[in-house]
Amino acid sequence: MTLLTDNEVTRLDNSNPEFERATPFNKLNAAIDEIEGGVVSAYTLDKSDSAAAFNTDAVLVFTAPYAMRIIDVIVTGCADEASGAVTIYKGTDAIGTEIACAADGVVSHLAAGVVKAHMVLAAGNTVSAMVTAGTAPKDVRGIVTVLCQRL
């Protein structure tokens, strides 16, 4: 997180020579960046409404704003749909095996088939969700929550 860009610092430094230089802000920026390392954030995709149910196309959950590691994926089923499941992707690569999304109110976690390399995101990587099982995939409804830790 940057409070001032280099151009802004230069402009402030040059604006009035009687004021202190803006360079202390740069030290503050470095301290804030150090504090933010390891911060955990959650990204949610809500497909709980019948009008906005999943379909068989991948749906963007989020685009990574900075380097981060996925530490958990939670899927909450919001409708009864026999054998419904959701798979989470980093780009076009599955992060793990499908996660159950078949029963209303049941919470499931990413638990199997995890590919460690797919759990680490660079800034700009996309994470998406797609229904990969169910008797009627277009009727699978749920909430996907992806927990990430900043690197």
Q: What would the pLDDT profile of 30-79 be if each residue is shown by its tens digit?
A: 555 555 667 888 999 998 887 777 777 889 999 999 899 999 999 999 98
Q: What is the pLDDT of residues 100-130, one digit of tens each?
A: 998 999 999 998 888 899 999 999 999 999 9
Measured distance CA(74)–CA(110) in Å, rounded: 7
Measured distance CA(35)–CA(20) in Å, rounded: 25
Check residue 19 and give its pLDDT.
Answer: 57
CA distances from 82 to 5, 45, 73, 85, 104 (A): 53, 21, 21, 9, 11
Measured distance CA(101)–CA(78) in Å, rounded: 8
* pLDDT > 60? residue 26: no
Quote the Cα angle for 131-135-139, to 5°. 55
Check residue 1 and give its pLDDT.
Answer: 46
Check residue 28 and give its pLDDT.
Answer: 55
Measured distance CA(1)–CA(31) in Å, rounded: 10
pTM for this structure? 0.73
Task: Spell out the domains of the chain, with CATH numbers in brackets.
Answer: 6-36 (no CATH), 40-150 (2.60.120)
Measured distance CA(108)–CA(57) in Å, rounded: 21
| Better-scored residue on pLDDT, 18 or 126 | 126
Mean residue pLDDT of the chain comes to 82
| Better-scored residue on pLDDT, 132 or 120 | 120
Task: Kindly report the number of other CB atoms within 10 A of residue 105's CB atom.
Answer: 9
